[in-house]
Structure 1
């Protein structure tokens, strides 16, 4: 017969681990809720996820930003998913991937002095990065960004003109060291993956960047973005943001439905 202390320890440790896991889950859920509901934050968070349908470790990161985006009431949270193309040679071509998005991730590697690029990766406000499926780090990074004071005066208006989205912006001072970038974002989509590391899986996506345009910043101006053939009004939005050319820091952001 085992001594009572050993039996108590045997029973108690699993219960302790279960309690700790439950407490951690509750804390993360509370943080997600605060991020989604808090409209009085001083700052903003531009969240860029670099992902791919060909990457086996990416679906949890996609699920995390889907959870953040679902019922998101925080107008200062801007989520974008960039599908990179360097996984396309692994047997499955991601239909949302673009080499330009891989180039953007490489630029972040230079700005943030990283030795490599990887998926899934999240970059927040162009200044901090972490593994995109690391829920605790992602939520903490967003929370920190929202708590930083900012003076964002960027306002945009988006209209559809033929085969283009035309985004007018105003409210910011011209600065030769910054650019304004405009992302055309498809809010929801899904893919049945037939090959590669996620073969057989039905993958769902949110906030998919389908096009990205940038130009030198002016006090006010317009940016035109070509619309893809599958564009349908009501299921898309544009996210505009101001980014410093030398450091990658994002200083202002705004969004509008199409």
Structure 2
């Protein structure tokens, strides 16, 4: 995992309203959807397509996280990261699940379902969004070159951790072996890196960071932690390239 250099971290007393923040502005999406998928899984292409459709909804943050635990079946996933497999396992342990699988969607860090099952996905979305409710903490971002400023609005939730996700908006991969041999897999919003920004202790706050190679294809997540594992997602914002 590449490191992030911190330019500043300021708690804001009497912070300006998020609506006054320049750049990408305040965001409070309905939901964050994480799809755990694999190029070696024949059940995954329908879920990959569904995630691509969700990525076009401005009220959703849709993310593809390729996992590596099927690599032994004959095809090494070219986009997978061990960190993504570990993230899925951490979610599963927090829910008390006995195993992980693909394709799996996790909505707002809490509700899991089979990613290729339209009915199950719709049910998880209803559970997570509670009749079109928004994520409780608003985030605003502004990128200037390699500098990203993240501003957090006041929310009822107590505390959480802020994460920066580097995204590749569109990826196509030709698969030569395994269950999907001869197919071309198409992905949207592939996560390439997840890196911590800092801890949020509640109330308005501003984080200013420097990151080499930063582009407009990014996502910022504000997420609870439970015993070192990722929990409920409290807020999210995506860059203008997404």
Q: TM-score, normalised by structure 1?
A: 0.71
Match of 2:128 among 128, 145, 152: 145
Equivalent in the alignment of 1:213:
195
Asked if 1:179 corresponds to 2:161, the answer is: yes
Unaligned runs of 5+ in 1: 1-41
Once residues 207 and 81 of structure 1 are traced to their aligned partners in structure 2, the CA distance between those partners, rounded to angstroms, is 6
Once residues 92 and 212 of structure 2 are traced to their aligned partners in structure 1, the CA distance between those partners, rounded to angstroms, is 28
Equivalent in the alignment of 1:133:
116
Query: Would you tell me which structure has more strand in proportion to its own residues?
Result: 2
- Does the CA-based 8 Å contact 1:178-1:243 persist in structure 2? yes
Asked if 1:91 corresponds to 2:60, the answer is: no
Q: 1:157 to 1:193 in 2, by over 3 A?
A: same
Once residues 124 and 50 of structure 2 are traced to their aligned partners in structure 1, the CA distance between those partners, rounded to angstroms, is 14
SS in 1 for 2:231: coil
Once residues 101 and 248 of structure 1 are traced to their aligned partners in structure 2, the CA distance between those partners, rounded to angstroms, is 15
Describe the superposition over 1:132-168 as per-residue Cα deviations: whole angstroms up to 9, x where unpaired: 101122133224434235443211123443xxxx432
Match of 1:46 among 28, 32, 38: 32
Equivalent in the alignment of 1:68:
54
The count of corresponding residues between Structure 1 and Structure 2 is 204
- Does the CA-based 8 Å contact 1:158-1:257 persist in structure 2? no
Once residues 218 and 212 of structure 2 are traced to their aligned partners in structure 1, the CA distance between those partners, rounded to angstroms, is 12
Match of 1:116 among 81, 99, 104: 99
Once residues 38 and 211 of structure 2 are traced to their aligned partners in structure 1, the CA distance between those partners, rounded to angstroms, is 23
- Does the CA-based 8 Å contact 1:176-1:216 persist in structure 2? no
Describe the superposition over 1:93-139 as per-residue Cα deviations: whole angstroms up to 9, x where unpaired: 11110001111111101221111111100000011000010112213
Query: Would you tell me which structure has more helix in proportion to its own residues?
Result: 1
- Does the CA-based 8 Å contact 1:55-1:87 persist in structure 2? yes
Match of 1:156 among 121, 124, 141: 141
Q: Over alpha carbons, which structure has the higher Rg?
A: 1
Describe the superposition over 1:32-59 as per-residue Cα deviations: whole angstroms up to 9, x where unpaired: xxxxxxxxxx861000000011111111
Higher RCO, 1 vs 2 (CA within 8 Å, ≥6 residues apart): 2
SS in 2 for 1:152: coil
Once residues 35 and 67 of structure 2 are traced to their aligned partners in structure 1, the CA distance between those partners, rounded to angstroms, is 10
- Does the CA-based 8 Å contact 2:31-2:135 persist in structure 1? no
Q: 1:60 to 1:116 in 2, by over 3 A?
A: same
Once residues 61 and 224 of structure 1 are traced to their aligned partners in structure 2, the CA distance between those partners, rounded to angstroms, is 34
CA drift of 1:241 comes to 1.3
Asked if 1:237 corresponds to 2:217, the answer is: yes
Describe the superposition over 1:151-187 as per-residue Cα deviations: whole angstroms up to 9, x where unpaired: 43211123443xxxx4320124598841111111111
Unaligned runs of 5+ in 2: 1-27
